[in-house]
Amino acid sequence: MTSRPSIWLALAASVTLAGMSHAQAPAVPTGDGNDPYLWLENIHGQKPLAWVEQQNEATAKRFADDAPFEKTRKQILEVLDSDEHIPYVSRMGGYLYNFWRDKAHPRGLWRRTTLAEFRKEKPHWDVLLDVDALNKAENKRWVFKGVQCLKPDYTRCLVSLSPDGGDAVAVREFDLPSRSFVKDGFVLPVAKSEVDWIDRDTLYVGTDFGPGSMTESSYPRIVKEWRRGTPLDQATVVYEGTPKDLAVGASHDDTTGFERDFVSVAKDFFHSQLFLRKDGKLQRVEVPEDATADAHREWLLVETRSPWTVGDTTYPSGALLVTRFDDFMAGKRQFEVLFRPDAHTSLASYSWTRHHLILDVLDDVKSRLEVLTPEAGGWKRAPMEGAPALSTVSVVDTDPDHSDEYWLGVTGFLTPSSLQYGVIGGAAPETLKREPAFFDASKFVVSQHFVASKDGTRVPYFEIAPKTMKLDGSNRTLLYGYGGFEVSLLPTYSGSIGRAWLDRGGVYVIANIRGGGEYGPAWHQAALKAKRLRAYEDFAAVAQDLVRRGITSPKHLGAEGGSNGGLLMGNMLTLYPQLFGAIACEVPLLDMKRYSHLSAGASWMAEYGDPDTSDWNFIRTFSPYQNVKPGMHYPPVLFYTATSDDRVGPVQARKMAAKMQGMGYRNVWFYENTEGGHGAGADNRQSAYMHALAYSFLWDQLH
């Protein structure tokens, strides 16, 4: 059990290379009485939606109404709909479970099979839930958002369904043997809920219980214990947080012999508290609030985010420590260091098997795995088989309750992803599934480069380019970045990027700027709050290095980013317009004076600061909506977003586009999809359209 609620984990995992409650904006002070575009914050208002429709029509006519766009869209959709994709699995008991979308099932199938079947080229899948059939039967547009199944028999599950692809979901109890929802079972209406099984007849529930029950960040403030057959409003309160907390949740660990219950309180994105719940009482797991704690069987793992002094020993930021859980709760503080970072390494993740711990370590943004084994004299470590050069290897799944099996995902920019299966102590892992090649990788080469940022910091970036590329500054080049929330951008195969950009002759570059997690917590903290401009200086340095090396020139250099990466794009637009020929700004934050009052914005103040305080003195330096000015030479820009995005929300992109157009900038484009939430696409067809729109805009403008 980690020290943050699963809602936090879902938020932190939301970034992809493709981009990344419909309550209207609350009545709060605007901070800018002269803002003429506040009316666009009425998300579902008739006038704003009419404006959106007009903008969509103009943008589609300009960039999505010709043969090249349609070719790109079809190529991307073929990738997304391919029957040859790897069906990634997770084990529950004797079955491997998978969620699958394809052309015939755009909203998807939840299904399962056995390991013996999975080894076959064409395994037989037992379909548990057909979301398209469910939508037809209920006249809905549900988007599948995952399941939680009750151990150890996994016959009852809680299925989460979003009405439009947003974070708010309906939760419904599902019976696997009958393949049906349980009549009079556990049901929660659409909300940003946090749930977990205690036993067959009891749940932990955090949800919208009514006025005052959600945090200012729009997540559960109260967690309750809810027994089957009783009204939700009669559930017993377990913990009640404050409105300023990010989210509150509770969980039950039913590992035989180590049954425990926990309450987790996320104070913000990077600070949390974990409590052991025993006999109705809470005991704090006394680790620093910015550390994460993970109780597993007899062990407690602690991952530090800042130096932690215990007795005479100071453990560094980014370290992984281990001790025995019961000893720690009794007051003992003897740790063994399982991972200690250095200037080139950080811990990406770790995974338990029954008898071992697998560490996923990044070494200058490239993966290597280690296996750690507890023994009488301490923890023994050994390397696992590595990944190909300039690639990413990650643990997809393990079976920590029963075995030492592991599933590895191996991927690289030019290496189609593969899924490997192995057992620690057994033979080398075997490749069970491999992604098809969606483009001819033999024409390209991957390289890693480093550039000094403005303050001298060494910043890495990856470049994927044609082998025949001429260093004459003429290459259309797309630079992608994120730089926030300690999220790392790693080498990953993308058939969509290969087809839509590389095959056209373009160069694709990923910048590993500060604010991310590529070098651990310190790399993230170097661009936090008042230091935010460091991330933008890093991105600008990469852009300038691409020009210096002859890869491209400003008129041929495009930039793309989504969510926090959309804020990055807004700052490239307003702070470094001379470096780029076009910018795609996707599901973005842009109005940093209002962001904390819009959608889930209050949850990110630990990252950016609080604009309603003196923090505004530094936030204003990276708030594109306030910094955009008339009479400048801004590059062409496309803003795209989704009406159903209940995380960042569509209003910031709306307002920025409208403001720039109002200043007389003609090459400002806007498109808003209705569904899809923060991902801007509820199914493959929508995703293909949105990605094709961005690539077509960029290719067109970078000629």
| Catalytic positions | 563, 678
Q: How far is 572 from 565, CA to CA, in rounded Å?
A: 10
In sequence order, what DSSP letters do the residues of 27-73 get, joined into one string?
S---S-TT-TTGGGG-TT-HHHHHHHHHHHHHHHHHHSSSHHHHHHH
Burial class (CB within 10 angstroms; exposed 0-12, middle 13-18, buried 19+) of 134:
middle
Name the token pair of 625: 């909506």
Q: How far is 137 from 131, CA to CA, in rounded Å?
A: 10
> What is the DSSP code (8-state) at residue 276?
E
Q: How far is 327 from 677, CA to CA, in rounded Å?
A: 44
- The residues that bridge with 412 in the sheet, in sequence order, are 391
59 neighbors 638 (Cβ within 8 angstroms): yes
Q: How far is 562 from 612, CA to CA, in rounded Å?
A: 25
> Residue type for 13, please?
A
Whose tokens are 């700004």? That residue is: 585
Q: How far is 223 from 240, CA to CA, in rounded Å?
A: 7
622 neighbors 568 (Cβ within 8 angstroms): no
Cα separations in angstroms, 367 against 18, 383, 390, 397, 520: 21, 12, 8, 17, 14
What is the number of residues in the chain? 703
Q: Cβ contacts of residue 353 below 8 Å, gap of 6+?
A: 398, 399, 400, 403, 404, 405, 406, 424
The continuous run of DSSP H or E covering 308 comes out as: strand 308-310
